[in-house]
């Protein structure tokens, strides 16, 4: 089935709210109609079948309708981050070779040289000469087409989700219609989502975690409250209360900031049902604080990758206490194994690589057969994440295969050191990097952000000396205001390495 039709199925006539953005709200039927009208414009004469359409805008009604329209017309959606560097955007354009561009008004000016002369739909009138705007195309006076035909389904590509590999260069993950359908149903079942659920969407829709929130809530007939900035956490919390959000999803930094730099702990969220955390490992101290703060709410720890459409596993709320630190087990329809180098399952306590299989495993990397061969073999995704399993089959991530430091002949997990540092009260985020050392091979270097800023330097140093054995005690400690983030809101290790280089 076409993924967009699947997401909109039985919702075309629904007057219930689907999206709230600012002072505006849009029903499921309005989104379905706008997507159909735009799909007809993009795909006239069948010219969009299999063609790529680049989407560059903040999360919005325009973004949602555009994304669905591309898939409805049989095209391939190519969402890109709004803060992308021009050089990387140019590489994505060269690689994907899009036929159309759906670009928010303020970004037509910022990236004008890269989109000039292209077939563009903007969300604002007058941005692009001789090109109708989104509002003109989707004028509610126009009757939306009843059926756009059977285009795009099953193993056909639905989206290219660009993500940075180990080199930092963008590579497109090929997501099919079947991938979206399968993963959406799996997540809905794992979280028991229904039409009464309303999620606070602070994660951008161009990020696969954010996209999965859109998929699941459209499918069940629920709703999303869009907030494109997390600079003012108190406003987010106010908005959650005002709009009656039943859910909040975030990456680790989302909850680290809320717990350390907001009134989150003091609030009573009457409508809130659950928390969904993924996009990296939230250290155990913060999970414990979440549990204490939201003792009457459900907290789901999830794990996923863009290469798996979105989600792969879930630790249900009732297992947080006895399985603290685990990512749980595979969600419905997903098989997760932890395999040794010979391809056999590891014994409890031993370390191996997480390998995933299921209908949500994507088709590989766009125009990158060598990279695809490394990670996708025999229908399975080799995640590159190292983990252990316990006697009950629950999985515990140790670290990324490439994120160990070779210190004094030992392989040291960056995450283990970071988690110890985060037990220091007031530390919001921590990142460990390796630096060359004549004696140890590599020594530990720590960057930390603290609510008191550089005033906390000496207490963090003392905390490390007391809790981390030599030679793994950080050789250098830098206390900074904020760790730089990538477009998904996660700490950007590449940028941090550049900062480290400038300080040594």
Per-residue pLDDT tens over the stretch 134-152: 988 887 666 666 666 677 7
Within 10 A of 29 (CB to CB), how many other CB atoms are there?
17
Instruction: Provide mean pLDDT across the span 152-172.
Output: 82
Cα separation, 25 vs 469, in Å, equals 55
Q: Flag whether pLDDT at 416 surpasses 60.
A: yes
Helix (H) or strand (E) holding 101, with range, is: strand 100-103
pLDDT tens sequence across 10-23: 777 799 999 999 99
Q: Quote the pLDDT of residue 337.
A: 97
pLDDT tens sequence across 477-495: 999 888 888 777 777 877 8
Q: Flag whether pLDDT at 215 surpasses 90.
A: yes
CA-derived radius of gyration, the chain: 23
Helix (H) or strand (E) holding 191, with range, is: helix 177-191
Do 477 and 457 contact (CB within 8 A), yes or no? yes
Q: How far is CA 189 from CA 182, 216, 337, 442, in A?
A: 11, 10, 21, 45
Cα separation, 131 vs 54, in Å, equals 16
| Token pair belonging to 442 | 């590599």
Percent of the chain with pLDDT over 70: 93
Percent of the chain with pLDDT over 90: 63
pLDDT tens sequence across 428-444: 999 999 888 766 778 89
Helix (H) or strand (E) holding 89, with range, is: helix 86-96
Instruction: Provide mean pLDDT across the span 164-176.
Output: 77
Q: Which of 395, 289, 293 lies closest to 335, judged by CA?
A: 395
Q: Flag whether pLDDT at 126 surpasses 80.
A: no
Burial of 124 (0-12, 13-18, 19+ CB in 10 A): middle
Q: Which of 385, 400, 497, 401 lies closest to 445, judged by CA?
A: 497
Instruction: Provide mean pLDDT across the span 200-213.
Output: 96
Do 100 and 78 contact (CB within 8 A), yes or no? no
Do 363 and 176 contact (CB within 8 A), yes or no? yes
Cα separation, 157 vs 52, in Å, equals 10
Q: Quote the pLDDT of residue 463.
A: 93
Cα separation, 68 vs 74, in Å, equals 10
| Token pair belonging to 133 | 């705007």
Cα separation, 130 vs 20, in Å, equals 31
CA angle at 237 for the pair 232 and 238, rounded to the nearest 5°: 95
Cα separation, 120 vs 133, in Å, equals 9
| Token pair belonging to 101 | 């561009």
- 160 strand-pairing partners: 174
How is the beta sheet containing 223-226 ordered, strand by strand? Answer: 24-27, 17-21, 223-226, 198-201, 247-250, 274-277, 298-304, 311-315, 329-330
Within 10 A of 321 (CB to CB), how many other CB atoms are there?
10
Cα separation, 123 vs 34, in Å, equals 12
Q: Quote the pLDDT of residue 148.
A: 65
Q: Quote the pLDDT of residue 37.
A: 92
Within 10 A of 13 (CB to CB), how many other CB atoms are there?
9
Q: What's the pLDDT band for 127 if we cut at 50, 70, 90?
A: low
Q: Quote the pLDDT of residue 372.
A: 95
- For the ranges 159-168, 270-279, 416-425, 450-459, which has the lowest average pLDDT? 159-168
Q: Which 3 state secondary structure label does DSSP give 273?
A: coil
Instruction: Provide mean pLDDT across the span 423-431.
Output: 89
Average pLDDT value over all residues in the chain: 90
For strands 427-437 and 334-339, give the pairing. unpaired
Structural domains in the chain plus CATH codes: 3-7+23-176 (3.40.50.980), 404-503 (3.30.300.30)
Dihedral over Cα of 79, 82, 86, 88: its sign? negative
Q: Flag whether pLDDT at 49 surpasses 90.
A: no
Ramachandran angles phi, psi of 36, nearest 5°: -65, -45
- For the ranges 200-204, 409-413, 466-470, which has the lowest average pLDDT? 409-413
pTM for the model stands at 0.85
Q: Quote the pLDDT of residue 504.
A: 72
Do 289 and 324 contact (CB within 8 A), yes or no? no
User: Is there a cis peptide before residue 307, judged by omega within 30 degrees of 0?
Assistant: no
Q: Quote the pLDDT of residue 482.
A: 84
Q: Which of 417, 416, 411, 351 lies closest to 386, judged by CA?
A: 351
Ramachandran angles phi, psi of 369, nearest 5°: -60, -35
Instruction: Provide mean pLDDT across the span 313-330.
Output: 95
Within 10 A of 373 (CB to CB), how many other CB atoms are there?
11
DSSP state letter for 308: G
Dihedral over Cα of 465, 468, 474, 479: its sign? negative
Do 158 and 176 contact (CB within 8 A), yes or no? yes
Q: Which residue has the higher pLDDT, 281 or 463?
A: 463
Q: Distance between the two ends of the chain, CA-based, in angstroms?
A: 55
Alpha helices in 365-429 (DSSP H): 369-375, 414-421
């Amino acid at each position: 089935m076409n993924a967009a039709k699947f997401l909109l199925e039985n919702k075309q006539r629904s007057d219930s709210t689907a999206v709230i953005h600012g002072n505006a709200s849009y029903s499921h039927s309005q989104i379905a109609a706008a997507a159909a009208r735009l799909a007809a414009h993009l795909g006239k004469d069948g010219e969009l079948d299999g063609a790529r359409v680049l989407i560059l805008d903040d999360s919005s009604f325009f973004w949602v309708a555009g994304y669905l329209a591309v898939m409805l017309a049989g095209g391939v959606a190519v969402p890109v981050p709004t803060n992308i560097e021009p050089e990387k955007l140019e590489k994505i354009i060269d690689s994907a070779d899009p036929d159309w561009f759906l670009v928010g008004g303020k970004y037509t000016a910022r990236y004008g040289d890269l989109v000039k002369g292209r077939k563009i739909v903007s969300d604002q009138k007058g941005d692009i000469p001789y090109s109708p705007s989104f509002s003109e195309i989707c004028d509610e006076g126009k009757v939306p087409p009843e059926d756009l035909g059977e285009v795009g389904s099953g193993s056909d590509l639905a989206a290219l989700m660009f993500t940075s590999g180990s080199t930092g260069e963008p590579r497109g993950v090929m997501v099919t219609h079947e991938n979206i359908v399968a993963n959406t149903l799996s997540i809905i079942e794992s979280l028991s989502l229904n039409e009464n659920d309303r999620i606070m969407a602070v994660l951008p829709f161009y990020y696969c975690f954010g996209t999965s929130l859109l998929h699941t809530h459209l499918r069940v007939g629920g709703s999303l409250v869009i907030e494109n900035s997390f600079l003012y956490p108190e406003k987010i919390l106010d908005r959650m209360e005002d709009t009656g959000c039943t859910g909040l999803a975030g990456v680790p930094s989302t909850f680290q900031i809320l717990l350390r730099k907001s009134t989150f702990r003091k609030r009573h969220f009457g409508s809130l049902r659950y928390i969904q955390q993924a996009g990296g490992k939230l250290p155990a101290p913060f999970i414990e604080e979440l549990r204490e703060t939201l003792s009457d709410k459900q907290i789901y720890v999830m794990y996923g990758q863009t290469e798996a459409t979105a989600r792969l596993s879930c630790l249900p709320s009732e297992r947080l206490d006895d399985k603290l630190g685990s990512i749980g087990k595979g969600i419905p329809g997903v098989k997760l194994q932890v395999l040794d180098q010979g391809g056999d399952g590891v014994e409890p306590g031993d370390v191996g690589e997480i390998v995933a299989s299921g209908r949500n495993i994507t088709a590989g990397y766009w125009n990158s057969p060598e990279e695809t061969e490394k990670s996708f073999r025999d229908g399975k995704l080799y995640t590159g994440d190292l983990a252990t399993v316990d006697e009950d089959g629950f999985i515990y991530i140790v670290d990324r295969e490439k994120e160990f430091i070779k210190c004094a002949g030992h392989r040291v997990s960056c995450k283990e050191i970071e988690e110890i540092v985060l037990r220091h009260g007031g530390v919001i985020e921590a990142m460990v990097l390796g630096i060359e050392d004549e004696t140890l091979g590599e020594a530990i270097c720590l960057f930390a952000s603290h609510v008191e800023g550089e005033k906390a330097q000496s207490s963090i140093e003392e905390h490390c000396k007391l809790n981390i054995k030599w030679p793994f005690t950080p050789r250098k400690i830098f206390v900074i205001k904020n760790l730089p983030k990538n477009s998904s809101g996660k700490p950007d290790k590449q940028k941090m390495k550049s900062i480290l280089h400038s300080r040594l």
